[in-house]
Structure 1
């Protein structure tokens, strides 16, 4: 077996293809352009805060900025990359560009050392640049020690802070820096850069393969280059899609299309067979379900959007296949599938039997009945009305049964406001007010529910509380834990334990004054369906529409 040259060390793609000028930074044009303009117009701040996800170019941009400031031809927006200062900065050996790891140099003693060194002039360049990575890891004491230096730094010092968690940095530090927010890099931009690397390195890989790598990198250019390195180590100079699926645990678009076909065709048996096969391959079920949900979303987008390619990040061949699959289906069906599978994905997070949960979820998704058009529903309602009769009678047996079921609970818990029973004593009424006040402090939501309540009957051992409102409020108060709490508060106020029961207060109806002219009624009020609804829900028409 041939041995490698021990004097030559392998350089990973992330280092070998690290950008050396602002133009090479991918996906951060809003930042690189601003920095270049600031250098060109000599409007450079003394402190910068670079925030954003990992692997999107924060530290790389900091190094390029340091090169631009200390270049022999600079300060310049385009460092030469050939002078000693540029070469040393790129190699990380420049004495004027100090890179500090905030995670391991986080204490106040490290910041005190830094404050001592900033006093000294740069050795070879024009500026001393301090790059502190993961600056959010510094302690509060360290941040406080840094404040004075940040507020009045020496003219030759530039601070560049990089962080993935800007919310952890004190506002006093934020206010002394110019903040630049780095964003996740788009999938197509990562794939294009990977294509450039593979072409120059002589690596053969399909566009679908590069898209898989870019998707797995989740917006991180560095992660994508590391994954490409890993794929080359596994497959050699010719990377197959199957190899990438094995390395990344990714789901191929062909698999997702096949599963979506099964869902659209309501082929439960075929789906269960596919799940069994994927499990034998070691596929993660949550990742698989998330992939199917994303694919259904992509189908919805391709069906609705005029230019789905701008929203769905897929290679051209996969995008064409997606559009083809969306043909012949409808958005309503896809939305129902999306909702159903999203619930299944949530259930998988906590399920001890993920396979069973997914299988049942897929069968349920296949069994979803289509929604009926609104016009058809209205037509069926008219037909039902005709069958019930046109006379507007309210003694129909089915209507009576519905009314009895709907009002059963309320009737069993109802007392009138006037009350046929003996009224409460004034002392008990005052005591109930104190109990309510204490309840609002202890459990505000329950106290609010009983706001319109009062004692309607009382004895030495019991209180009957009438609630003006709905049966829901009675149910809430009548729960065991709620009643126990209220009885405990009553014992504290009254000095003895009493039994408390709750009833719904009926609203008293006052006779309407006679009018000289007959009251106008709309035809809707005479409708038997409207009358039955008013009766069941104890409602009234507030402002009937004019029929003139």
Structure 2
């Protein structure tokens, strides 16, 4: 049994009504045929496979139909049967392929035969296909005949390049330009043909067939014919079409687009590697990615583009595109599409297309490295999307103001007590503990003097915690970990000590929508984080960067792995038990607890200092702060006096170190008692710098395990 004809031959139109997508040509021709106003020469131009030669045959049938003048051939007369789809042909309708018969000799032969009358039809019709292949000499040989043909002669030139037809010939014809067939029209036409053939085809496969045909009816039917020949019992499936036609599967495109939206570089480059490993062409993948981004850009501008027919996609694919658009901003999509389009142009003739594809992906993932307007808008889109995760802005999400540490340049001028004891002014004082300090030399005990009871300061009232974010905000632990680097960057601009905790001690280990848990490997850093007010700073940074108002919880998690560098020194441990009071005359004063405001002056008066430090004048209004006010005391071997007797105090090396620490604290407190007149010249001991971490109170707490309080005279 003979094999069936190709689809484009079996379903070739026989009337103008069957020609699809060319109504702007067929309707005027039908009107001219019906009104008997047919010209002697026509020029049909347009892309390949769009119906030029088919329309020329239909025009010849209509001209020679026994019922002429008629708009469409009747299909019943002898001429119509001869020129039918499977007819034997007519001797009076001559088709010439100009690609092989375009020379001057062929034109002369045609001119000699054209003057003979038709054998049995009304007109002798010459259909010259690929007319642009006729040489200039051949056109010149035909010029006189085309300009003044005999009454029985008609010419129809068909070409894909009408500009190559010499102007003298083109000016003597009626020019009808054919166009590519719209995708939606081709889709419905293919569905109808599959019904006629009795073969099922998945809706998701139809766009691939239409795309492969590129608007050409003949090419599209050729692709469909190939798929129908290889279809199994399930018909033409999407997997079959994507595999045979070489297009990127939608699953890969969905994966790479989702990875771009999440900023997941590992997933993006994993998709690129999969493309190469499966043998796909990087250029085709880049082209398919650009098409997908184009669809997303259209949906972001027109949400109902798929339903209105603006995009030719299936229903389930339209739902996926809408979900992907919600993860992007318009500026991000436009920037990504521009980068892919530029990279696709650079891939033409490139010897390393994979490298170019990876560079394109890297540029899309790093909008922060793009200082153009598109890069700034892309970063703004990300910030707005993060703020919209919880559905509220930072101001709306926090009903009560939370304490926030401002940068050093934005802080108000500190008070005298805050400059004298920065750590005590920031945090409430814990339980008092006596601190031993060596005296310069043993002195007789003074007469007991009454010491007034210190007035306890009211405990600071903590700000009411902000209401936690509702779990229904849609924020997950994965989202928090993905956005956590931005939170750390925000904290770094607020307080460096908090930033050190987050980068070297803590890790995000849990999130339930209302509480964000930070895991610490040791209890020391955890307690330092809780007592230092760092949780409030982190909470505000989470509000600003992620848009979720959550409570920060510090827990011990042995599995937590700090993200960078060695851990900082452990936080100050709890104050050790007070040593036994020395005997009178041993040189160790007694101390008692006071508040931050009353401890500065007595401590300055009682602490042993060297002679130069006692004679230093107060700085003037125009002088810079002395170095001893902002720098730690040098290790110059300073000895305050004779070592205490055995059993009455610490070792000589420890005594010398404690004396230097006490001397440094007294100098700082003395400087705080006489601030400069110029408010810009004061020393901000609470500045968030490296010196702040080495202040005297913190050194005493870390090295000696105690807290500086007021000294009580002996016998008091």
TM class, shorter-chain normalised?
Answer: 0.5 to 0.7
1:162 pairs, out of 153, 158, 161, with 158
For structure 1, list consecutive stretches of 5 or more residues without a partner in the other structure.
377-385, 388-548
Which whole-Å CA distance do the structure 1 matches of 2:366 and 2:80 have between them? 65
Deviations 1:227-285 (A, max 9, x none): 11111222246122111112110123343232211212212111111122222222111
Pairing of 1:260-409 with structure 2 (within 5 A): 260-305=257-302, 308-309=305-306, 310-369=309-368, 371=376
Q: CA deviation at 1:316?
A: 4.2
Deviations 1:121-165 (A, max 9, x none): 222221111100000000100000111011111111111100011
Which whole-Å CA distance do the structure 2 matches of 1:291 and 1:150 have between them? 47
Residue in 1 aligned with 2:171?
A: 175
Which whole-Å CA distance do the structure 1 matches of 2:144 and 2:25 have between them? 27
Which whole-Å CA distance do the structure 1 matches of 2:207 and 2:224 have between them? 11
1:82 pairs, out of 72, 76, 82, with 76
1:51 pairs, out of 18, 41, 45, with 45
Residue in 2 aligned with 1:511?
A: none
Contact 2:261 2:327 in 1 (8 A): no
From the superposition, tell whether residues 338 and 167 of structure 1 become closer, same or farther in structure 2 (CA, over 3 Å).
same
**Rg larger for:** 2
Residue in 2 aligned with 1:39?
A: 33
Which whole-Å CA distance do the structure 1 matches of 2:255 and 2:335 have between them? 18
From the superposition, tell whether residues 303 and 284 of structure 1 become closer, same or farther in structure 2 (CA, over 3 Å).
same
Range with bigger deviation, 102-111 or 360-369: 360-369
Which whole-Å CA distance do the structure 2 matches of 1:136 and 1:196 have between them? 35
Deviations 1:311-343 (A, max 9, x none): 433344433432332124221111111122222
Residue in 1 aligned with 2:205?
A: 209
2:219 pairs, out of 223, 226, 235, with 223
From the superposition, tell whether residues 23 and 332 of structure 1 become closer, same or farther in structure 2 (CA, over 3 Å).
same
Contact 2:94 2:125 in 1 (8 A): yes
Q: CA deviation at 1:308?
A: 2.5
Which whole-Å CA distance do the structure 1 matches of 2:64 and 2:321 have between them? 51
From the superposition, tell whether residues 328 and 270 of structure 1 become closer, same or farther in structure 2 (CA, over 3 Å).
closer
DSSP-derived class of the 1:198 partner: helix
Normalising by the residue count of structure 2, what TM-score does the alignment of the two structures yield? 0.50
Q: CA deviation at 1:301?
A: 1.1
Residue in 2 aligned with 1:127?
A: 123
Residue in 2 aligned with 1:250?
A: 247
Pairing of 1:484-495 with structure 2 (within 5 A): none
From the superposition, tell whether residues 173 and 307 of structure 1 become closer, same or farther in structure 2 (CA, over 3 Å).
farther
Deviations 1:16-64 (A, max 9, x none): 0111110111100000001000111111111110000000000011111
Deviations 1:323-372 (A, max 9, x none): 33212422111111112222222232243221122123212211113516
From the superposition, tell whether residues 136 and 274 of structure 1 become closer, same or farther in structure 2 (CA, over 3 Å).
same
Residue in 2 aligned with 1:416?
A: none
From the superposition, tell whether residues 186 and 317 of structure 1 become closer, same or farther in structure 2 (CA, over 3 Å).
farther
Matched, 1:23 2:17: yes
Normalising by the residue count of structure 1, what TM-score does the alignment of the two structures yield? 0.65
Residue in 2 aligned with 1:259?
A: 256
Which whole-Å CA distance do the structure 2 matches of 1:216 and 1:360 have between them? 28
DSSP-derived class of the 1:251 partner: coil
Q: CA deviation at 1:306?
A: 6.3
Report which structure shows greater RCO (CA 8 Å, sep ≥6).
2
For structure 2, list consecutive stretches of 5 or more residues without a partner in the other structure.
369-374, 384-408, 411-716
From the superposition, tell whether residues 307 and 100 of structure 1 become closer, same or farther in structure 2 (CA, over 3 Å).
farther
Q: CA deviation at 1:9?
A: 4.2
Deviations 1:65-91 (A, max 9, x none): 111111122231121223221121123
1:73 pairs, out of 38, 63, 67, with 67
Residue in 2 aligned with 1:149?
A: 145
Which whole-Å CA distance do the structure 1 matches of 2:58 and 2:287 have between them? 38
Range with bigger deviation, 87-96 or 279-288: 87-96
From the superposition, tell whether residues 9 and 346 of structure 1 become closer, same or farther in structure 2 (CA, over 3 Å).
closer
Name the Cα RMSD after superposition.
2.1
Which whole-Å CA distance do the structure 1 matches of 2:116 and 2:40 have between them? 16
DSSP-derived class of the 2:292 partner: helix
DSSP-derived class of the 1:130 partner: strand
Q: Whose helix proportion is higher, 1 or 2? A: 1
From the superposition, tell whether residues 307 and 35 of structure 1 become closer, same or farther in structure 2 (CA, over 3 Å).
farther
Which whole-Å CA distance do the structure 1 matches of 2:232 and 2:57 have between them? 32
Contact 2:187 2:210 in 1 (8 A): yes
Matched, 1:194 2:183: no
Residue in 2 aligned with 1:392?
A: none
Q: CA deviation at 1:191?
A: 1.4
Which whole-Å CA distance do the structure 2 matches of 1:85 and 1:317 have between them? 51
From the superposition, tell whether residues 293 and 58 of structure 1 become closer, same or farther in structure 2 (CA, over 3 Å).
same
Which whole-Å CA distance do the structure 1 matches of 2:124 and 2:298 have between them? 51
Which whole-Å CA distance do the structure 2 matches of 1:173 and 1:321 have between them? 54
Pairing of 1:226-237 with structure 2 (within 5 A): 226-236=222-232
Which whole-Å CA distance do the structure 1 matches of 2:292 and 2:262 have between them? 16
Contact 2:35 2:69 in 1 (8 A): no
From the superposition, tell whether residues 106 and 294 of structure 1 become closer, same or farther in structure 2 (CA, over 3 Å).
same
Contact 2:367 2:376 in 1 (8 A): no
The count of residues paired between Structure 1 and Structure 2 equals: 371
Which whole-Å CA distance do the structure 1 matches of 2:217 and 2:21 have between them? 10
Residue in 1 aligned with 2:238?
A: 241
Deviations 1:373-421 (A, max 9, x none): 69x9xxxxxxxxx99xxxxxxxxxxxxxxxxxxxxxxxxxxxxxxxxxx
Which whole-Å CA distance do the structure 1 matches of 2:20 and 2:199 have between them? 21
